[in-house]
């Protein structure tokens, strides 16, 4: 797995004069059954979030309001993504490091994940991530 597995996800939408509706179904619009949903809000413009990788968890991240930048890498290749459309997100497979920043004031982002929260699945140290990548080769 690596950044080549990171792919844009575009959700279907139903246009309505009273407000558009976008939706996601697990294993249909996202490539896994959805086990957890979380969102982050009240993000200061100068915030630095992410800063980790997951051993097994898959996720899709959407910026539902505002704008944010993601730097995604697999230890060899890097992908820079800007999210600013609530229908367009990015799929993150296991073992990709992601840093999130470049927030517009008032940004809200949403993540759909393949598993419930498990602290043991996180790699929060960049050196440990690099070692895990080398060990997998």
Known catalytic residues? 52
Could you say which DSSP state residue 119 is in? G
The pair of three-digit structure tokens given for residue 66, joined into one six-digit string: 């505002």
Long-range CB contacts for residues 127-136, cutoff 8 Å, separation at least 24: 129/53, 129/75, 129/97, 130/75, 132/53, 132/55, 132/95, 133/74, 133/75, 133/76, 133/95, 134/75, 136/95
């Amino acid at each position: 797995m690596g950044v080549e597995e990171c792919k844009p996800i575009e959700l279907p939408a139903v246009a309505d004069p009273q407000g558009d509706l976008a939706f996601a179904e697990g294993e249909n619009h996202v490539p896994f059954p959805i086990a957890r949903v979380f969102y982050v809000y009240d993000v200061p413009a100068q915030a630095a979030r992410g800063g980790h990788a997951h051993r097994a968890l898959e996720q899709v991240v959407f910026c539902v309001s505002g704008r944010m930048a993601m730097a995604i890498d697999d230890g060899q290749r890097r992908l820079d993504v800007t999210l600013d459309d609530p229908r367009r997100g990015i799929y993150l497979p296991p073992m990709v490091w992601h840093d999130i920043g470049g927030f517009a004031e008032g940004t809200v982002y949403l993540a759909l994940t393949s598993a419930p929260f498990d602290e043991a699945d996180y790699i929060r140290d960049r050196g440990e991530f690099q070692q895990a990548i080398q060990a997998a080769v």
